[in-house]
A and B are shown apart, each in its own frame.
Chain A
Amino acid sequence: DAGVIQSPRHEVTEMGQEVTLRCKPISGHNSLFWYRQTMMRGLELLIYFNNNVPIDDSGMPEDRFSAKMPNASFSTLKIQPSEPRDSAVYFCASSFQGGFGGELFFGEGSRLTVL
């Protein structure tokens, strides 16, 4: 397995534009997590899904952010409209929840720059 796959790896956009980040979790994993990493705030959990259902989105900063998981192999994080303060590295992680462990496996991240 290639691990958690995120795209794009790098995105530069202008303020006001829509940004869509994509994630393909590891096959067989049933939980998916979106994190945002900044120098000031570190790694913040934005939202997570269990069996494709959003469980907790309390970390989503505001209504401009939305996330979907239409099936077990794909998730998106959308920012509309984007703002310069959204510049960060966005990580997706997946895990198998159902027994001991539940280790999170992270993607390589999507570095977003909003000008």
Chain B
Amino acid sequence: AQRVTQPEKLLSVFKGAPVELKCNYSYSGSPELFWYVQYSRQRLQLLLRHISRESIKGFTADLNKGETSFHLKKPFAQEEDSAMYYCALSRMGGGADGLTFGKGTHLIIQP
């Protein structure tokens, strides 16, 4: 069975510092990886997906199949980045089978 691991429950960094949220997965096939974010009092929403190779709100994530990782990075953190971040995996294209989520990392950006 597939599994997503986010080793940090809480990550606190200062504004302007680099941020890296770690995500590792286990799955024997070729999964699709996603990052979802939940800001305070808002719904869980898609931040980015690996197949798009895009940067959203300054965040990027590269799929490393050798290390089975999909870490989320941003060079300069902003206070509005404070939120819960969830890494997720889909066995099928576009999440057609539903997503397997990690337990999430609470990111706090200190002023």
Count of interface residues, chain B, beta-carbon cutoff 8 Å: 20
In the complex, are the beta carbons of B100 and A97 less than 8 A apart?
no
Q: Which residue of A lies closest to B1 (CB)?
A: A58
Q: What's the Cα separation between A100 and B100 when bound, in Å?
A: 19
Q: Say yes or no: is A102 at the interface (Cβ < 8 Å to chain B).
A: yes
Report the separation of the CA atoms of residues A33 and B44 in the bound assembly, to the nearest whole angstrom. 14
Q: B31 on the interface (CB 8 Å rule)?
A: no
CB pairs A–B below 8 angstroms (17 shown): A31-B96, A33-B99, A48-B97, A48-B98, A50-B96, A55-B97, A91-B44, A93-B44, A97-B95, A99-B94, A102-B90, A102-B94, A102-B96, A104-B95, A105-B45, A106-B43, A106-B44
Per DSSP, chain A at the interface is: strand
Please report which residues of chain A, range 68-96, place their CB below 8 angstroms from some CB of chain B when the two chains form the complex: 91, 93, 95
User: Across the interface, do A102 and B102 meet the contact criterion of CB distance under 8 Å?
Assistant: no
- Interface membership of A103, Cβ < 8 A: yes
Chain A, interface residues (CB within 8 Å), range: 20 to 34
Q: Is B93 interfacial (CB 8 A cutoff)?
A: yes
Distance in Å: Cβ of A90 to nearest Cβ of chain B: 13
List, in ascending order, chain A residues with CB within 8 A of B49's CB.
Answer: 101, 103
Distance, CA A27 to CA B61, complexed state (A): 31
Which A residues form the contact surface with B (CB < 8 A)? 3-4, 31, 33, 35, 41-43, 45, 48, 50, 55-56, 91, 93, 95, 97, 99-108
Residues of A within 8 A of B95 (CB): 95, 97, 102-104
> Does B46 lie at the interface of the complex (its beta carbon under 8 Å from any beta carbon of A)?
yes
- B101 adjacent to chain A (CB < 8 Å): yes
Question: Quick check: is B85 within 8 A (CB to CB) of the other chain?
Answer: no
Q: Within 8 Å of chain A (Cβ to Cβ): is B86?
A: yes
B94/A108 in contact, CB under 8 A: no
